[in-house]
Amino acid sequence: MKHARVVHDGRTHAATEHDGQLLLDDGRLVGFEDVRWLPPLAPVARARTILALGLNYADHARELAFKAPEEPLVFVKGAGTLTGHRQFTRRPAGVQFMHYECELAVVIGRTAKKVRRDDAWDFIGGYTVANDYAIRDYLENWYRPNLRVKNRDTCTPLGPFLVDAADVPDPMNLALRTTVNGAVTQSGNTRDMVFDLPFLIEYFSSFMTLSPGDLILTGTPDGVVDCRHGDVVVTEIEHVGALVNTVQEESHTP
């Protein structure tokens, strides 16, 4: 099943996809164009943990002239970075290089502590598409991204849907693709991850507790390009969805 969170008629609704429309939690059917899309995550009664992988595709590491890491390169993101499908991401005025990153996002389904690799799939609730923009101007060190690179408000669109784990047959063999203004600029496959999903869940849960609703952003393949004001970026993952986002320079923001 595909789950969404949307705003319709001034109210926030949980929704599911139903024959090309959205079935709201009050029973109404509405069109995709009739709502404002939110990140497709149920509210949690605590701070949501968002873990993001850097250089988790060997080709992307080569693209940046680095070797693939021997241990996961991870940073933490704030919840304020998240925005929804068909929303705007702000590009700070004056920056020289801001690029998308098409990523499979794993949503934790139940509390995970000291999980063994062989059991890891049981702790995944579902998957969604993330576009984790990075501003390279602010990078202090490729191996130590500072807060401004990855933690600006609206810099991580998520969605459109949260797809139940059971409905994604082989998460480690999914095609990824990005287009900018309709032109294909990035393509890859999740099978090329340096650290696969079971490894990551075992690794993280060995020293920290993962809670329902937490996110793991699993990295991006090569093919990133600079995105400018007005660019429409579509990050798409097989069986999961196509996430649409528009870049808006801050000087143009109302």
Would you list the DSSP string of 175-216? Answer: EEEEEETTEEEEEEEGGGBSS-HHHHHHHHHTTS-B-TT-EE
pLDDT tens per residue across span 239-250: 999 999 999 998
pLDDT for 82 equals 97
| Token pair 């069109």: residue | 31
Kindly tell me if the per-residue pLDDT of 69 is higher than 90: no
Would you say how long the chain is, in residues? Answer: 254
Q: Which among 250, 246, 251 has a CA at the least distance from the CA of 88? A: 246
pLDDT band at residue 58 under the 50/70/90 scheme: confident
Provide the whole-model pTM.
0.93
If you average pLDDT over residues 46-68, what whole number do you get? 76
Kindly tell me if the per-residue pLDDT of 62 is higher than 90: no
pLDDT for 60 equals 56
Kindly tell me if the per-residue pLDDT of 134 is higher than 60: yes
pLDDT tens per residue across span 76-115: 999 999 999 999 999 999 999 999 999 999 999 999 999 9
Coil, helix or strand at residue 159 = strand
Kindly tell me if the per-residue pLDDT of 224 is higher than 80: yes
pLDDT for 150 equals 87
pLDDT for 200 equals 97
pLDDT for 229 equals 96
Going by the DSSP 8-state scheme, the letter that residue 226 receives in this structure is B
- Residue 46 CB contacts under 8 Å (≥ 6 apart), including other chains: 211
Higher pLDDT, 140 or 107: 107
